[in-house]
Amino acid sequence: MAPDRAGHRSPTRRGAAGLGLAALAILGPAVLAGCSGSEQGATVASAVPVAVAVVEPAAAPATAAPVTTAAPVETTPATPPPTVPIDAAAMLVQSLDAVAGGYHFRTSVTVAGVEVLVSEGDRVGNGTRLTIWTGGTSLSYLITPAGAWVVPDGGEWQALDTPPATTDPLAALRVPTAVSGTSYDGVAATIVASVPAAALGVPSDGTADVQITVNGPTLQQVRYSATIDGRTADVTTVFGPIVDPSPVVAPI
């Protein structure tokens, strides 16, 4: 893996062929035919002269020591701790407010267990800088309210004719259509927020259930699944402190 300009090593990149579903080979069982042991014994015995039968009996085989079987140990399935009531909507808003000033993120997209895209960058103020690795190439983006720019690996910055609909990838979570959540201690919680799929960049008119992991006011992870071209993509984003705190400004 080659390091990018920020010193991170880029993940393994796979071409479009990696998106195809692997074919399954179905092998039929092999049937083994042959004589049984008893049949073979009868054939050998019939060929032995009768005189051979007049011999001293063989010593009786040694008696094997009795096998002691330990009594099974009864186990009781562990009972999960009871959940505690939480205000999931309030916890979601609190976690989003905590990262309003900025954060670092790493997004991984997998299809059929294969990682097909990775995006990593920083959200600083009202701008975002990120690099996307996919299909054997990488693209870096700068996104601000004034516009968006892209540069291929080793290329030059170019302005995008159509800027993104939003510069904040978490904006969709501030206006969910439904929110629920579970917690065992009232601090760490898993929140499920239903948002329009289109707000996540998914070409669909339906909604997507986003699983959000928080620990108190700290936003830790966001996950959701989307069906694109008949295949399911799993998207996971992990959050952390800003790596590059410099302002995001137009490169040209």
The whole domain housing 228 covers 81-240
Asked whether residue 103 is domain-assigned, the answer is yes
Asked whether residue 114 is domain-assigned, the answer is yes
Note the pLDDT tens digit of each residue in 182-232.
999 999 999 999 999 888 877 777 889 999 999 999 999 999 998 877 889
Q: Is the CB of residue 122 less than 8 Å from the CB of residue 242?
A: yes
Collect all residues with Cβ–Cβ distance below 8 Å to 64 and sequence separation of at least 6. Answer: none
**Lowest-pLDDT choice from 62-66, 106-110, 156-160:** 62-66
Collect all residues with Cβ–Cβ distance below 8 Å to 8 and sequence separation of at least 6. Answer: 120
pLDDT at 92 over 60: yes
Supply the pTM of this predicted model.
Answer: 0.67
- How many domains does the chain divide into? 1
Asked whether residue 54 is domain-assigned, the answer is no
Asked whether residue 70 is domain-assigned, the answer is no
The CA distance from 247 to 122, in Å, is 10
CATH number, position 212: 2.50.20.20
Asked whether residue 59 is domain-assigned, the answer is no
Asked whether residue 37 is domain-assigned, the answer is no
Asked whether residue 8 is domain-assigned, the answer is no
Note the pLDDT tens digit of each residue in 7-51.
443 333 332 222 221 111 112 121 112 223 333 333 323 222 322
Asked whether residue 125 is domain-assigned, the answer is yes
